[in-house]
Amino acid sequence: MATSTVGAMVQKSPVSLSRWRSSSSHGRNKRRLSASIRCATLNDLIGSDLLRPDLGRWLEDVEKHKALVVYSPNEGGYEGRYLTRLCYQGYYFLDLSARDLGDPESTLIKIHPICPGYSREDNNEWKIEVIYGYHNHGFVHLEAHPYISRLDENEQKIIAEMFNAGVKPRKILSALKKRNPENTTTIRTIYNEKAKLYRNQLDGGTPIQYLFKCISDSGYISFNQVHPETNQLDRIFFAHPTSVRLSNMFSNVFLIDCTYKTNRYRLPLLCIVGVTSMNQSFFSSFAFMPNETEASYLWALQCFKFMFEENVLPTIFVTDREIALMNAIKVEFPHAKNLLCNVHINRNILAHCKKYFKHGKECDKYFGVWQNLINSPTESEFDLRYNEMLKAYGEKYPNVLFYVTTTWIVPYKELFISSWVDKYLHLGNTMTNRVEEAA
């Protein structure tokens, strides 16, 4: 193999990093800087075996250390040709009649580079020569520059492994920063890499084609329905074989909620989550639906019911106050008890009643009374606490009492008040937060 040696660096001029200084001469404007720092030398590399890719990597390390962003406009050429390193903000002499000197960002005309270096191969010897060392700009923020924030092969491999393991982008970024404190990758770079991996997974197909491929390859239980008029896929239900086994083993309590944030099409995704004897959550099944009507919920629950073995059916469902879903549960699982999520009830009351309280402390005090009412251990204790709440807030905040009484207590008290809810074996599951956190 031919040996390539590195010649000495010829420094034509110092690399300057300071403010603009403008001077006009013969109708042209030249921009320079006063303060300067000197370029690094290649003394450590003289006489060593070095190929052009190694030289390029060394240059990138030096440039990054100097907070400069430099690229190679002719990097795609054949191996023996010279390699140009051009500053990404390398402006050129400007014609005053063509550009407004007051707007440096509009200076895009290239004539002669201001900040390049040339690497050329001559008789198997490499030489780096700084043609012009002045820079027309200050230090750059490396974290915000996509060229510097590029991922190397090892980082791409780490991201792919963590992406396949379901790790969230922010945790992936944290792992990269911990591995290399000098890493300048941003969260946007992680999202872009994740999108590239996702496109590679699709292998030229559509997301729905990839979904059906995964369902087939992994042996999912699935059902789908086509719209009779458009002949397009209208809804799909699917459950992993392991989820089916877990659902039959731990069939007592299931939490149901719909989410829109997990798919680009904004379709309702029905998530059904089960709870093991060790209080661990597991995904039971999913269903993409065209809407949240009772008919859609009925279809999804019919598919869900098909998962269970004979004489094995759920006894408790925890949901939001979604009337269509509650009605569908009554039809498909008439012997199951439907409980309402306490967290969503509290959020609704806060959103509706906060405007009636002049001070935040008064609102907090009332919510303390409300929580005490929800946690009533017996029906008689509930009656006592409810009457106390009426006396304390009935005259001062009648709108609040009217809302909580007519909207929640009278129609649904048996679905979320402890004195009624605790009659059923819900194993401490009185909210659907598990579904939201898992999704």
**Average pLDDT over every residue of 140-158:** 69
Better pLDDT: 304 or 37 = 304
Query: Domain check: are 20 and 165 in the same one?
Result: no
Q: Tell me the pLDDT tens digit for each residue of 153-178.
A: 888 899 999 988 888 888 998 888 88
In a domain, 411, yes or no: yes
Query: Domain check: are 104 and 37 in the same one?
Result: yes
Better pLDDT: 66 or 14 = 66
Query: Domain check: are 176 and 227 in the same one?
Result: no
Query: Domain check: are 298 and 434 in the same one?
Result: yes
Among the listed residues 111, 120, 95, 103, the one whose alpha carbon sits nearest the alpha carbon of residue 6: 120
**Torsion sign over Cα 194, 195, 201, 207:** positive
Q: What 8-state DSSP symbol labels residue 252?
A: S
Q: Tell me the pLDDT tens digit for each residue of 352-368.
A: 988 999 888 889 999 99
Q: Tell me the pLDDT tens digit for each residue of 197-254.
A: 888 888 888 888 888 999 999 999 999 999 888 888 899 999 999 999 999 999 999 9
CA distance linking residue 132 with residue 31, whole number of Å? 13
In a domain, 211, yes or no: no
Q: Which of 96, 112, 140 is the last residue of a domain?
A: 140
Quick one: pLDDT at residue 105? 34
In a domain, 214, yes or no: no
**Average pLDDT over every residue of 275-297:** 93
Query: Domain check: are 227 and 307 in the same one?
Result: yes
Do 258 and 322 form a contact (C-beta atoms < 8 A)? yes
* CATH number (domain holding residue 275): 3.30.420
Specify the number of domains making up the chain. 4
| Range in 198-207, 228-237, 284-293, 388-397 the model is least confident about | 198-207
Q: Is residue 287 packed enough to be buried (19+ CB in 10 Å), middle (13-18) or exposed (0-12)? A: buried
Quick one: pLDDT at residue 267? 85
Quick one: pLDDT at residue 102? 40
CA distance linking residue 77 with residue 85, whole number of Å? 13
| Range in 6-10, 108-112, 123-127, 210-214 the model is least confident about | 108-112
Predicted confidence (pLDDT) at residue 97 exceeds the cutoff of 70: no
Predicted confidence (pLDDT) at residue 264 exceeds the cutoff of 70: yes
130 phi and psi, to 5 degrees?
Answer: -85, 110
Residue 374 belongs to domain spanning: 343-421
Quick one: pLDDT at residue 231? 87
In a domain, 210, yes or no: no
> Between the CA atoms of 398, 400, 406 and 410, what dihedral angle is there, to the nearest 10 degrees?
-100
Query: Domain check: are 60 and 122 in the same one?
Result: yes
CA distance linking residue 306 with residue 212, whole number of Å? 20
In a domain, 207, yes or no: no
Rg from Cα positions in the chain: 34
Q: Tell me the pLDDT tens digit for each residue of 7-17.
A: 333 333 333 32
Predicted confidence (pLDDT) at residue 415 exceeds the cutoff of 50: yes
Quick one: pLDDT at residue 144? 52
In a domain, 147, yes or no: no
Q: Which pLDDT band, with edges at 50, 70 and 90, does 186 fall under? A: confident
Quick one: pLDDT at residue 255? 96
Q: What is the mean pLDDT of the chain?
A: 75
Query: Domain check: are 169 and 115 in the same one?
Result: no
In a domain, 62, yes or no: yes
In a domain, 212, yes or no: no
Share of the chain above pLDDT 70, in %: 65
Q: Tell me the pLDDT tens digit for each residue of 30-60.
A: 333 323 333 333 344 333 445 556 666 666 6
Q: Which of 202, 237, 272 is the last residue of a domain?
A: 202
Query: Domain check: are 32 and 125 in the same one?
Result: yes
Among the listed residues 239, 189, 246, the one whose alpha carbon sits nearest the alpha carbon of residue 218: 239
Better pLDDT: 102 or 147 = 147
Query: Domain check: are 128 and 233 in the same one?
Result: no
Query: Domain check: are 244 and 358 in the same one?
Result: no
Quick one: pLDDT at residue 96? 39
Q: Which pLDDT band, with edges at 50, 70 and 90, does 114 fall under? A: very low
Query: Domain check: are 162 and 111 in the same one?
Result: no
Query: Domain check: are 320 and 364 in the same one?
Result: no
